[in-house]
Amino acid sequence: MDTTNDTLHADILVIGFGKGGKVVAATMGRLGKRVVLVEQSAHMYGGTCPNVGCVPSKALVHRSGKRRPEDPPQEWYERSVQETQAITKLFRGGNYDALNGMDTVTVLTGHGRFLDPHTVIVDTGTGQVTVTGETILINTGSHPIIPDIPGLRESEYLVTSTELIESTVLPDRLAIIGGGYLGIEFAAIYSGFGSQVTMFEKASAILGHEDDDIAAAAVKILADDGIEIVAGAEVTEVRDAETGAHLTYEKDGVRHTVEADAILAAAGRAPTTHDLGLDAAGVATTERGAVRVDAYLRTSRPHIYALGDVNGGPQFTYLSLDDSRIVLDQLTGEGKRSTADRGAIPHTLFMTPPLATVGLTEKQARAAGRRVRIGSQAVADIVAMPRAYVVEETRGMMKFIMDADTDEILGAALLSVDAQEIINTVALAVRHGIKAADLRNAVYTHPSSTEAFNDVIAAIVRTDEPQTTGV
């Protein structure tokens, strides 16, 4: 596409180079449509996942797990970060070339802002380009939330997850504010590299949305790895000193202070919608600042769609990919696919070993009035899973929640080696109504982690009547 003029017209204009937007851009480009993709940072071609999210963080999970006690922490960490940055650079370049190399697609690097419902002004740093689009996709992702704690924003020791994984200096003492998925993953990573990690969580416990037995098993693993978890604590102040930051927190009415060389804000992420000119486009937002969409990802302007984190849904790359399928069905298909079609979406917490879940927890199933059977075993006790011993990771447990009357799989929690992979098999079974007995009696390769299903689903630890009160 010709970019010599200061004005471009596109059939499809995509603001943000995230997973969902780039898939739509590439697909429509291959169909011969004129596509303009706007990304404000040359560091973010391909979106959060390959640059500052899933890929680098999971690469560091892997490398931290390979460090031996005799390996110097700082040297091992610096090399790991450099190796990880080489991977992200490769992916970033591949994403850019794949799109910009198409005759029908132009990638503009600069900040885009709506002028009206069909026009976006892109400030490239060397000038402005006016882009008009028949169909527009907002795919600008999300950004870290910095808690409103006195002294935190001003602290020279404050880091976001992006800043932390790009630094080659391993903090001796890392404080993490927030005990959700991000906080736990980074606690596991940096503890593995040799940092002294303290994680603060306001709630009375971390992983409170999981069943108590699963949460207890995960917490024990984290504690055994040297991570200090301070739950029921509120950080009230941060003050910088010559030797590091001083964090003051209150727990059970008592005030405490700890020192840290780095403070990771892991309090969640918010949709990136500021300075997009959404008012000029007539695009409505929610109270949380997300772009408001319907089940087909259409905004208050029918020709404008919002994909990925920016639309306020669950912040997972694989759901952004599914967003692209919904939008493509609107643009090229029957227009029937919607977010309502999603079912049994799995999630993985990448601690070591990972915790992967799908469907209902036991307490959710019982609260819903279901009569359940629970199949559960510690990984170390699963006879049919020698792989755990082969790879020297026998920590954790597996748990299945089944309907006692129909043998339907209601949910599962897998805290084990390979959990991030085998949970997809369970999710597929739930999605297609495969009975627990079918999963239990299936023939699996050996030695594998999946064959644990042969034992765990048969290991019934209890059958409970539903709880109808007190829930």
> What does the pLDDT profile of the chain (471 residues) look like in tens digits?
444 458 999 999 999 999 999 999 999 999 999 999 999 998 888 888 888 888 999 999 999 999 999 999 999 999 999 999 999 999 999 999 999 999 999 999 999 999 999 999 999 989 999 999 999 999 999 999 999 999 999 999 999 999 999 999 999 999 999 999 999 999 999 999 999 999 999 999 999 999 999 999 999 999 999 999 999 999 999 999 989 999 999 999 999 999 999 999 999 999 999 999 999 999 999 999 999 999 999 999 999 999 999 999 888 888 999 999 999 999 999 999 999 999 899 999 999 999 999 999 999 999 999 999 999 999 999 999 999 999 999 999 999 999 999 999 999 999 999 999 999 999 999 999 999 999 999 999 999 999 999 999 999 987 875 555 443
The domain 7-142+270-341: what is its CATH number? 3.50.50.60
Question: What is the SS3 assignment for 217?
Answer: helix
Count of CB atoms within 10 A of residue 4's CB? 4
Beta strands 254-260 and 244-251 are antiparallel
Q: Which of 256, 274, 303, 446 is catalytic?
A: 446
Q: Which residue has the tokens 């739930």?
A: 430
- Tell me how far apart the terminal alpha carbons of the chain are, to the nearest angstrom: 60
Other Cβ atoms less than 10 A from the Cβ of 329: the count is 16
| Residue positions counted in the chain | 471
* Percent of the chain that is helix, strand, coil (3-state, to 5): 35, 30, 40
The edge-to-edge listing of strands for the beta sheet with 262-265 is: 158-159, 262-265, 173-177, 196-201, 228-231
Domain with CATH 3.30.390.30 in the chain: 347-464
Considering the four listed CATH numbers 3.40.50.10190, 1.10.300.10, 3.30.390.30, 2.60.120.560, the one that applies to the domain covering 347-464 is 3.30.390.30
Decide if 55 contacts 33 (C-beta within 8 A). Answer: no
Fold classification of 158-267 (topology level): FAD/NAD(P)-binding domain (3.50.50)
Q: Which residues contact 408 (CB under 8 A, 6 or more apart)?
A: 402, 433, 435, 436
Q: Residue 222 region, left (φ>0) first, then alpha (ψ -120 to 50), else beta?
A: alpha
**Dihedral angle over CA of 252, 257, 259, 263, nearest 10:** 50
Structure tokens at 332: 């090229």
CA angle 316, 18, 207 (to 5 degrees): 20
For CA atoms 120, 91, 417, 215, the dihedral sign is negative
Given a contact cutoff of 8 angstroms between Cβ atoms, the answer to whether 164 and 157 are in contact is no
**Separation CA 409–CA 429 (nearest Å):** 8
Q: Tokens for 101, please give them.
A: 């190399």
Residue 369 DSSP SS3: coil
> Is 446 noted as a catalytic residue in this protein?
yes
Closest to 186 in 3D by CA, of 222, 236, 235, 211: 222
229-263 burial, b if ≥16 CB within 10 A, otherwise e? bbbebebeebeeeeebbbbbbeeeeeeeebebbbb
Which of these, 41, 37, 67, 38, lies nearest to 52 by C-alpha position?
A: 41
The pLDDT, as a whole number, for residue 471 is 39
Angle (CA) 421 427 433, round 5°: 145
In this prediction the pTM is 0.92
- Is residue 449 within 8 A of residue 416, CB to CB? The reply is yes
Of 331, 371, 359, give the one whose Cα is nearest residue 428. 359
Q: How many CB atoms lie under 10 A from the CB of residue 93? A: 12
Domain limits, CATH 3.50.50.60, in the chain: 7-142+270-341, 158-267
Burial label, 177 (beta-carbon count in 10 A; 0-12, 13-18, 19+): buried
124 contacts 131 by C-beta, under 8 angstroms: no
Helix extents (H) in 278-435: 278-281, 317-332, 362-367, 387-390, 419-431
Furthest CA-CA distance within the chain: 71
Tokens of 304: 């404008």
User: Where are the extended beta strands (E) located within 98-232?
Assistant: 105-109, 111-116, 119-123, 128-138, 142-144, 158-159, 173-177, 196-201, 228-231
